[in-house]
Structures are given as structure tokens and as C-alpha cells.
Homo-oligomer: A and B are copies of this chain.
């Protein structure tokens, strides 16, 4: 077995059973995206490395990069947002704004492989570029909620805003730079709890007064309206904050107008999202069948990352579903749909001389949209039927010498065993 080929660690093969289910998920997701008017877009797997470098902070070391045979320094796509930025900057003059696009694509990260974490994985992103209104904020959240509902997945949306976090920093009398440590610690609240956050803040030399304020901040709980009221009373007032709280409030009201159950959305001050580029609404999802699984769909508003061809910033909001994480979450909680065989009919092969009949019948079935295979070998009939049954093919078509003589066919339902003569 010296030549036994291997799969690279952190990469995946998809045999038909998994691939069929995976394709069903992709179809369900993109169908929902399409209903919101997101249009498909695609970009290459390879980019000039300079496009990616300097965009991902310390995660930059995870980029697959190399020098190609033309001495170009190239990199494999690390996410779908940076290429989206390139698209807007290069082709913005040909696009109608607001530009709603979705993209399904592999991304590559040389990360340590783990449960639900791969080096090659599919992201399914939806973004609205060129609009900074509450309409796009609400549409984005609705897209997530409708998509999860179409997948039959119970999630809770946790939303917050970068403006609220900025107001917390100001309330602590810190500059935004000085406040970064607070945001990073808050981001870990889910994992390390208040004890952990307090320990971390104190090790970062934040004052007791700052730590006390952060505690008050994280203690704010209740219905979305109660949380907004709590934030308004804790945080130093400013027009920016007031506008932001009003905007969040309007977003919540519009979700209600759209028929969303109030229990599906929480305002959660502990949501901070690591990425520096967010400027407004930020959100994550709780996967309720296994709340510790981590967010399967996240995103936010980023108004100062993407540029029009003119060089001006294009306001933007977007979200991303990690298909492989989603698959993993659904798989461990038994929520994946059963793969059903896409092959519907199996034509039993009695004898080589009957092949013309089998081909004629197969083409007729296919013309009706019925997925049909002709068994290529003339094994014993029982063995052929077992083969069809092993493949979960629902119908076998039996045309032997007798049937040919009488110009008919027997269709056998492999689930019920029922046979009908046609």
C-alpha cells in the first residue's frame, strides 16, 4: 500500500451522501437570500497577496500565500469581504446601488484543524453595499431569521452596536484606543464569565471604577426595550448614542412589523465582535439546540471598509454563514435532513438483447424529469433488486422477456413492495 493516496489534514472530501445534504442546505440558504434580492457574485480563489495582507491583524499568518510561476506574490481567498471590497472599487461604476450581493465560496485558512474547524471551508455571505439606513439593518437581520427558519433551526439573534461599546468606553473616561482591552474582554464574556472578564481587566490595569462600570454594563438584562433603557441610564448621554439607541429601537419595531416573534431577538451588551472594522449594528446567533456551539451566523455594519471607485467610503452591512460549522452543528444535534437518493428508477437488466428497450424507456423517463439508471450488468434478478434497494432507489422497472412479449413493464415500489403492471 506504499502508494495509498492521502487527503490533506483540515480538508474534506464529500461523498454523495454528505454532498446531497450539503447541497440541500446551500439551496435552502440561497433561496432565502434570493427572496431578499441579493444577487449572485463570484471572485477567484487566488488574489494578489497585497490585497489581503494588512487586513486581518494577527490572523494574517493563517493566509495561504506563495509565489506563482510568473513571480507574482499570490494568496488564496481568506474571506469573501475583502474580494467584495475589490469588486466595488473596480466595478462600482457598473453596479446599481444599493448593491445586494450574495457569494458562496471556499475560503482557506492555515488554522489548526478541530471540531467543525477546517482549513478549507465554505462561507455564504450576503451584504448590502451603498446604504446606511435602518432598512438595510433590518433586512439583514430578517434574512438571517428567515433563513434559519427555512432550515428548521431554532436560533436567537443577539444584537448590539459598536456605538454602544464606544459610549461605554467614553463613560469609563477612556479614549477609544484605551478602551480596546475592554472590548476584547467583553467579547470573551460568554466563555470566561464575569470572573474571567474582571480578572482580565484588572490584569490590564483598568481602574476599579472602570471595572465597576463594565460590571454594571454587563449586568443589564431583560427584554430588548428594558436593555435599551438600562443602557440609556448607565452610559454618558450624547447625540450619537441617542441616535443609535433610537435606531436599534426602530430596527426592533420593524422586525415586529415583519411578524418576527419578540423572543427571537435579544439586545445583548456583551456582543463585541472581534473585527475592528464594524461601525454600527453587530450581531451573532445562538444555536438553541446546542447553545454552547457558538455562533453559526454573524456579521454587522461596516461603513468605513469598502470604497467606491471615487475613493469615498461605501456604507455596508453584511453577514456570513459558515456552511461547514452549520453542517457540524446540525449533524451533532441530529437536525440534518436525511439524504434521499436522487435516483428514482432502476431498470433491471435481464438480457443484453433487451437493451434497446431499456434505453428507449430510460430516455422517456428522463424526458419526464425522472432520474433513471439502467443496470449495466445482467446479474441474477434478486441481486439486481438488492443493489437497487441498497441504493435506496424507490422504484425498479422490470421488463423481461414476458413483459416485452406483452409490451408492458412492471414497476415495483421498493418501499412497499407493491407492483403495478403498465
Show the binding face of A for B, using Cβ within 8 Å. 4-8, 11-16, 19-20, 22-23, 34-37, 39-48, 51, 61, 64, 66-70, 72, 74, 76, 85-87, 89-91, 94-96, 98, 100-101, 106, 108, 110, 120, 131, 133-136, 138-139, 142, 146, 253-255, 257-259, 342-343, 349, 355-357, 359-360, 362-363, 366, 369-377, 387, 390-391
Contacts and interface: CB of A to CB of B under 8 A. Distances in A.
Contact of A257 (B12, B39, B69, B360): B360
Interface SS of chain A:
mixed
How many chain copies does the complex carry? 2
Contacts of A42: 13-14, 19, 22
Contact of A258 (B7, B39, B359): B359
Nearest to A98: B376
Contacts of A89: 4-5
A373 B19 contact: no
A258 B363 contact: yes
Contacts of A131: 376-377
Given A15-B87, A19-B41, A40-B23, A96 B391 contact: yes
A360 B258 contact: yes
A15 B47 CA distance: 17
Contacts of A12: 44
A6 B72 CA distance: 12
A68 B11 CA distance: 14
Contact of A20 (B16, B40, B44, B258): B40
Contacts of A19: 39-42
B110 A373 contact: no
Contacts of A366: 35-36, 146
A170 to B, nearest CB: 28
A371 B5 contact: no
Nearest to A360: B257
A376 B133 contact: yes
Most B-side CB within 10 Å, residue of A96, A359, A375: A359
B377 A133 contact: yes
Q: When A and B form their complex, which 10 residue pairs have the shortest distance between CB atoms, in order from nearest? A: A66-B66, A257-B356, A16-B39, A135-B376, A37-B373, A11-B44, A14-B42, A35-B366, A258-B359, A19-B40
A4 B94 CA distance: 16
30 contacts: A5-B51, A5-B86, A7-B86, A7-B90, A8-B46, A13-B87, A13-B91, A14-B42, A15-B91, A15-B94, A16-B40, A20-B39, A23-B40, A35-B369, A35-B372, A37-B343, A37-B371, A45-B45, A46-B120, A64-B68, A66-B67, A98-B376, A133-B376, A135-B355, A135-B374, A138-B359, A146-B363, A146-B366, A257-B355, A258-B360
Nearest to A342: B34
Contacts of A67: 66
B41 A15 contact: yes
